Structure 1
């Protein structure tokens, strides 16, 4: 299998191994967009396990000598796995290096790999001729500066690199408005027309607003790269909410869009039970809804409930008969029973009572009762702390003779985990463990250390009992999510088998409504075109900036007002400072494992089962203020400072000071 190829010769199933920049260029080339001749290098994670940086760079030099003339000036560019993606552009993070001779290629390639730090194995590389252009530019589908919706094009009568770096003031053209200052004279109307036509094609190809770099040489437009725009999401039209009465809430833990199938099948039963409205595939719940109280005392015996449903779900997985609609409906009813047991309001009241009684008891004995509380809450033996330890051990065994055996045991124990059980379509750990291991590669992982400042000798019998009771509450809070994951895994497997049985296109089943799926199973005709339109709508809505609350037709969004200090609540004590990383998709494990080391992470919600893969982060900021939120538990398990109750439009790279002990976030750089 070749590791370095001319872009034209790479097949569709392989292109993802070359990184996102190469993938986007490949897509452009296949659809007739004019790009430079491109040599693409697979991410070293897809090479042999023990490949060295020097071996990779030497092979790149050899390939360049074969494909490019000695007289050509070239540019060696990054193509990182998460670069130029829907979630993050990573613009300016990695190196691009011009070379004027074969002898400089190896050094330039090493420089690009080095710019990824410990993640160099996930860095693809592309090599292209350096184009001596007449002029260049950057084009945006919509204004990156304000809420304008017209195409914006920045031109410069020099190379594109000066525009990207901000070295010069561009000549600005806005579609439907014309030149913002005056026509600079070097850009013809035909070039503008061709660019705006290309923008519409590129936007359709990537199914998103686009950010495009181009140059013009001898009258020909050459597109250098294209990526989805990540400078702010699109606010939904006001018409979508203006006639809605009452108060409707986009819950933090259910803030992702639902596919048509999951919305209408409703495996969790949450939509059947709760008053809700659907806006652009997002579900808003009525503020008047209250969880049900189940009168019996069974909810207290979670071990028995868990063992009961674990046995049923495992039996469903082990069944060999063919999947059908009847088996699906039966499995959904069982899953709803597990969810109902978990969502009992008595359990949530009990959690709060345990916390309050422990805090009250500590207040009476200790002046610094909060310090004592956070100390005794460290290192609780939950399924996620155990998984984290087991995963680190697995990584340490990579390359040993019994690695495959240990990996199989790890998957048997944790393979059903998914980023969010109620969405069903989210992949499980069994689907991507090998990729995660490759992505993490040889990265050094800082294992959290820290001993509690207090132990049982410091407390009386009553406080010891309250501490033990509360630690069990925390343990159950984390462990019960894995039961829901297993039920979700059962239903997802059934749907995949039904999809195959009905000869549907892969992953298209999610975009049929449940009644349509039943019609298909009965041999009736159902439009696949409608399902495809729903898929496109679903992909587009991921880029929407949805209001957190809709109150009588008015959307309320996350705070963006200029503030230097934000006040929240302490969920894990400590102090740190550094750069913010905004987690765009908390359910995407690939984004999580690629968070830059040393970041302070801001996330709308934290998936408990994915918390085991947060490595080397310095701090955490979350909107939820509960001491028992999954984010709060994660922070205490990792011994990192965390503040809850903060809802703010942070931007990647913001410099902040996180004083979690006082529940404060100080913003020192809003640029």
Structure 2
């Protein structure tokens, strides 16, 4: 079949029906009121050109020789191709199918004939306006004529240029065509499920005019604008334009019509119609589980959905909401350069894998050495829209999850397979000798490339984990109501993580020391630096300790590899061990079994509340939550192996720069940019220019490290006084505790952390986990339910409250607080 109805399941295939056609088919099959029509598939396009050697040769040759620099020449090449298309004839088989589909409509029906390229309305490219659309077309011959024009528009110069810009192969471009019954609209326009002008996610923005929607879409006419509440669809504000013209149907297409003066300044939509449009927009957003803009039309009081697209662009709004947990401290320019590159490559790769719209812009950016997140982008991709899942039947819900996110089962297996290659690459690079500057530069390239390839799917892991947590939370809220937080905490505690394994190894070392009176005495007597120097005196412990570092020495102290790892700073590990010496080892061992029993009993308790046929679906959901929680932790553990290699590369380059007199400390290379190193290597800049950049960047870095970054870039933070009674954040782990707070700024505070204190930090990472064994509760300035601090607190049954802004300024060591992990609040008792 070369032609498919909107209602045909095959019509939802983008490769067969193009972006616009597949989208209309999906919306039709989902039950939305879409005007009827059919799709001339890519197969028809292929058959249309396959028997003409001339046009096949033109496409093949021009695909390689298009002149993208000379627009006049490109337009001439484009015109030759398009004119050749219009000379071709349709085959008899196609015409027979076409006539069968057309006869289902009244002979006086007007149609729109729209291009639907296989590269149009993709998640990675919108192609807005790149191909042709024809409106109000009557009669068989006219429709066929404009189908040819749509085929030819694949080779419009603007479409050719757009494909080149997006790095698509010209020869792989194909065209489908949508033939759709026209709505003779009384009113039409567009609607956005979030307000992209004000960056409001609680508002729907609607533009409208009399007549067809082209007057709104083209942006050439004055139109009405309405802001509607997303919660109850009530009208919040409106701008009623002086609407002088609209576009209406005409016998030969469309035409402009002057609007009567008495109608020009009155709203073209009633509040009731606004509610209907807003609800339709929200329903489409729910279906796609992503913010959408839609084109709509009203004819004779009937509302029709004409088109829907994902909203992927909002103005940047830089905050520390998303970045403070990942990047709590200042970052050197060199580190951020390669992290920024790898992160955004991963973002594009991961979103494509997850079938999410492509994001074009910066997700994270560095300002004054602190990393900020583009909060509007974060909200749009991570929190906007409904999950698009019906929880009335869990078996059906599981099917919906797998349909919407087919990568969920495959990603963990794929990642584990790729891990082998990554670890082999790590091993090869660890053993590589760097004998000269050329080898050092090449080594740096190899490290960055290895890390970039390894990291590509890793954003998908954390995003999927977040998605699964949202699904589990939503389901538990519907099942047990207010008790959902209690059950959620238990069902997201796992002892099998890599971080848990590292902690067990630390506990084993601590227990070994406690059982040896001499070693215990030594550890009580000396600080960690002194113990590091004396380690050679402790033969058995030394072997165990070096074995631990051989396995886990790549663990980071700080995200930035400018700082040493555990293997280069063993005293940090010794501080952690000292914190564990007072642990109740027997109790900890018993708790592990207790947690497993509690998980098992809790799961069975929830099973008893569910119909038997839902048990499999719920069990699968829990398995996926566990899989991705452990995978996210393992991914972080393996990623930090790169730190040792990055330090090896930068030290080697740094030593070369020391010989040249550019710097005195090899690690000062971290204060230059990667492009600067490449430019110097290629002889584009002098050593003096490198030296000046390093000096400038280092001074700025050191100055910025002493500052507390504004939470919202460009705004002054409102610092609350210490006598504020209640601090509100986000619940991270259930439970209530009262105790004195202790602020941990860095590893330097580990050794002095008091037993049973409330841990307060900007954020925590896996290397901080031993602190939790001594803590009574946890407060952080950033993070949420998925953060390391929250996950670890749940594992250890400690109450935790995350995202308390300015907690490090408001709270002081020794302050008495009550931490309520159930409500996400901290009460200052002093």
Give the TM-score taking structure 2 as reference length: 0.46
Matched, 1:514 2:674: yes
Q: How has the CA–CA distance of structure 1 residues 426 and 295 changed in structure 2, closer, same or farther, with 3 Å as cutoff?
A: farther
Instruction: For residues 74-131 of structure 1, give each alpha carbon's deviation from its aligned partner in whole angstroms, at most 9, with x where no partner exists.
Output: xxxxxxxxxxxxxxxxxxxxxxxxxxxxxxxxxxxxxxxxxxxxxxxxxxxxxxxxxx
Q: Which residue of 2 aligns with 1:570?
A: 731
Deviation at 1:646, TM superposition (A): 2.2
Q: Which residue of 2 aligns with 1:269?
A: 342
Matched, 1:341 2:457: yes
Deviation at 1:652, TM superposition (A): 2.5
Instruction: For residues 542-576 of structure 1, give each alpha carbon's deviation from its aligned partner in whole angstroms, at most 9, with x where no partner exists.
Output: 111211112xx434456558531223333222221
Q: 1:269 aligns to what SS in structure 2?
A: helix
- 2:732 and 2:363 map into 1 onto residues whose CA distance is 31
Residue 600 (structure 2) aligned to one of 448, 453, 456: 456
Q: Which residue of 1 aligns with 2:423?
A: 310
- 1:659 and 1:591 map into 2 onto residues whose CA distance is 25
Q: Which residue of 2 aligns with 1:445?
A: 582
Say whether the 8 Å CA contact 2:730–2:803 is kept in structure 1.
Answer: yes
Q: How has the CA–CA distance of structure 1 residues 656 and 477 changed in structure 2, closer, same or farther, with 3 Å as cutoff?
A: same
Number of residues of Structure 1 aligned to a counterpart in Structure 2: 418
Q: Which residue of 2 aligns with 1:283?
A: 371
Alignment map for 1:41-80 (pairs within 5 Å): none
- Judging by fraction of residues, say which structure has more helix: 2
Residue 627 (structure 2) aligned to one of 472, 482, 486: 472
Deviation at 1:373, TM superposition (A): 3.1
- 2:580 and 2:503 map into 1 onto residues whose CA distance is 15
Q: How has the CA–CA distance of structure 1 residues 661 and 365 changed in structure 2, closer, same or farther, with 3 Å as cutoff?
A: closer
Q: Which residue of 2 aligns with 1:417?
A: 555
Q: 1:606 aligns to what SS in structure 2?
A: coil
- Structure 1, unmatched stretches of 5+, are 1-244
Q: 1:563 aligns to what SS in structure 2?
A: coil
Matched, 1:654 2:815: yes
Alignment map for 1:104-503 (pairs within 5 Å): 247-250=317-320, 251-252=323-324, 253-266=326-339, 269-270=342-343, 274=362, 278-289=366-377, 299-301=411-413, 302-322=415-435, 323-344=439-460, 348-357=463-472, 360=475, 364=479, 368-398=483-513, 399=519, 401-421=539-559, 423-434=560-571, 436-437=573-574, 441=578, 444-447=581-584, 449=588, 450=591, 451-452=594-595, 454-457=598-601, 459=604, 460=607, 461-462=615-616, 463-503=618-658
Q: How has the CA–CA distance of structure 1 residues 328 and 539 changed in structure 2, closer, same or farther, with 3 Å as cutoff?
A: same
- 1:304 and 1:598 map into 2 onto residues whose CA distance is 42
Q: How has the CA–CA distance of structure 1 residues 635 and 653 changed in structure 2, closer, same or farther, with 3 Å as cutoff?
A: same
Q: How has the CA–CA distance of structure 1 residues 365 and 542 changed in structure 2, closer, same or farther, with 3 Å as cutoff?
A: closer
Residue 534 (structure 1) aligned to one of 697, 707, 710: 697
- 1:287 and 1:366 map into 2 onto residues whose CA distance is 30
Deviation at 1:260, TM superposition (A): 2.7
Deviation at 1:475, TM superposition (A): 1.2
Moved more, 394-403 or 267-276: 267-276
- 2:791 and 2:579 map into 1 onto residues whose CA distance is 27
Bigger CA radius of gyration: 2
- 1:275 and 1:376 map into 2 onto residues whose CA distance is 31
Q: How has the CA–CA distance of structure 1 residues 320 and 659 changed in structure 2, closer, same or farther, with 3 Å as cutoff?
A: same
Say whether the 8 Å CA contact 1:276–1:285 is kept in structure 2.
Answer: yes
Q: 2:582 aligns to what SS in structure 1?
A: coil
Say whether the 8 Å CA contact 1:380–1:475 is kept in structure 2.
Answer: no
Instruction: For residues 463-501 of structure 1, give each alpha carbon's deviation from its aligned partner in whole angstroms, at most 9, with x where no partner exists.
Output: 444333322222122111112101232212211122123
Deviation at 1:264, TM superposition (A): 4.0
Q: 2:687 aligns to what SS in structure 1?
A: coil
Q: How has the CA–CA distance of structure 1 residues 275 and 389 changed in structure 2, closer, same or farther, with 3 Å as cutoff?
A: closer
Say whether the 8 Å CA contact 1:260–1:512 is kept in structure 2.
Answer: yes
Residue 761 (structure 2) aligned to one of 587, 603, 615: 603
Q: 1:534 aligns to what SS in structure 2?
A: helix
Say whether the 8 Å CA contact 1:481–1:609 is kept in structure 2.
Answer: no
- 1:366 and 1:248 map into 2 onto residues whose CA distance is 35
- 1:378 and 1:265 map into 2 onto residues whose CA distance is 34
Deviation at 1:267, TM superposition (A): 6.4
Say whether the 8 Å CA contact 1:643–1:664 is kept in structure 2.
Answer: yes
Say whether the 8 Å CA contact 2:340–2:364 is kept in structure 1.
Answer: no
Deviation at 1:338, TM superposition (A): 2.5
- 1:565 and 1:388 map into 2 onto residues whose CA distance is 33
Instruction: For residues 602-627 of structure 1, give each alpha carbon's deviation from its aligned partner in whole angstroms, at most 9, with x where no partner exists.
Output: 22221133324544111101244532
Q: How has the CA–CA distance of structure 1 residues 613 and 338 changed in structure 2, closer, same or farther, with 3 Å as cutoff?
A: farther
Say whether the 8 Å CA contact 2:801–2:821 is kept in structure 1.
Answer: yes
Deviation at 1:326, TM superposition (A): 2.1
- 1:441 and 1:612 map into 2 onto residues whose CA distance is 9
- 1:444 and 1:336 map into 2 onto residues whose CA distance is 40
- 2:716 and 2:664 map into 1 onto residues whose CA distance is 37
Supply the RMSD in Å over aligned alpha carbons.
3.4
- 1:521 and 1:262 map into 2 onto residues whose CA distance is 18
Matched, 1:583 2:737: no
- Structure 2, unmatched stretches of 5+, are 1-314, 346-360, 383-403, 514-518, 520-537, 608-614
Instruction: For residues 352-375 of structure 1, give each alpha carbon's deviation from its aligned partner in whole angstroms, at most 9, with x where no partner exists.
Output: 235523662585369744333323
Q: Which residue of 2 aligns with 1:239?
A: none
Q: 1:477 aligns to what SS in structure 2?
A: helix
Q: Which residue of 2 aligns with 1:33?
A: none
Q: Which residue of 2 aligns with 1:89?
A: none
Matched, 1:525 2:683: no
Greater relative contact order (CA < 8 Å, ≥ 6 in sequence):
1
Q: How has the CA–CA distance of structure 1 residues 263 and 629 changed in structure 2, closer, same or farther, with 3 Å as cutoff?
A: closer
